[in-house]
Amino acid sequence: MNKPFDKNVNNAATHPKYLSVWDIQAYYGESYIVQGVSFDIHEGEILALLGRNGAGKTSTLRALARMDDPELKHGEIWLDHQPLHNMKSHQAAAAGIALVPEDRRIIPGLTVEENLKLAQIAPPIGWSLDRIYELFPRLKERRTQEGVTLSGGEQQMLAIARALARDIKVLLLDEPYEGLAPVIVQEIAKTLNIIRDQGITTIIVEQNAVAALTLADRAVILDTGTVVFDGSAKEVLEDEALRAKYLAI
């Protein structure tokens, strides 16, 4: 099992802003959901976290974001040499973790721009509105429109933009392509590549495994809460038996 990077050594020059996860075990009540998951990610990598329904993917994301459910009972999470495993969700967010959940959580009654400004009420502040609108010109066009009235693809863009409005190091995306047309999936993938070029690390959980693997540098596959594969995304794309066994594709 992979060990985390040595947290007592300053690796900032060679491994800046990395995320290291070691043997995390998490529960919903008595249900043992995340069963000793370990992996490392470097700055600017995109990791596809894959598996069948119920494999523990969303639970792993929520554990990394230090949400109340599932409850993390064992293991360590290190981000840029900071321990996250004892933090609350708001502390992990301040340290640089941003979770975009499957339901996107666009706030009703607020415009696109108000949703973005709300994310910047308190430090740490991330991208400026001008920079966000440069990346998402469609949001600029709709900045005075109520966020919940946007199309599904536009709401996903807003959810990602709202995360970038904070100063983040790791972007956690839960099913970002769900219900979206292929052309919108391609547009969001192109955006995520630009975000990677800015040095932001991304973990993407996605049922559209081929789309996620095409975007990602690396892949981790979960099965019943444990890691069964950790390697390059290309290797998964080229291994038909592996995909059939764990991803049903």
* Beta bridge partners of residue 50, listed in sequence order: 221
Can you give the residue ranges of every domain in the chain? 1-96+213-249
- Taking only the tens place, the pLDDT of each residue in 77-112 is 999 999 999 999 999 999 999 999 999 999 999 999
- 72 by Cβ neighbours in 10 Å (0-12 / 13-18 / 19+) ranks as buried
Which stretches within 50-111 are classed as H helix? Answer: 57-64, 89-95
pLDDT per residue, tens digit, the chain (249 aa), is 344 434 333 333 344 458 999 999 999 999 999 999 999 999 999 999 999 999 999 999 999 999 999 999 999 999 999 999 999 999 999 999 999 999 999 999 999 999 999 999 988 999 999 999 999 999 999 999 999 999 999 999 999 999 999 999 999 999 999 999 999 999 999 999 999 999 999 999 999 999 999 999 999 999 999 999 999 999 999 999 999 999 987
Percent of the chain with pLDDT over 70: 93
- Considering the domain 1-96+213-249 in this protein, what is its CATH number? 3.40.50.300
Q: Distance between CA atoms of 22 and 57, rounded to whole angstroms?
A: 15
9-14: Cβ within 8 A, 24+ apart? 10/81, 11/81, 12/80, 12/81
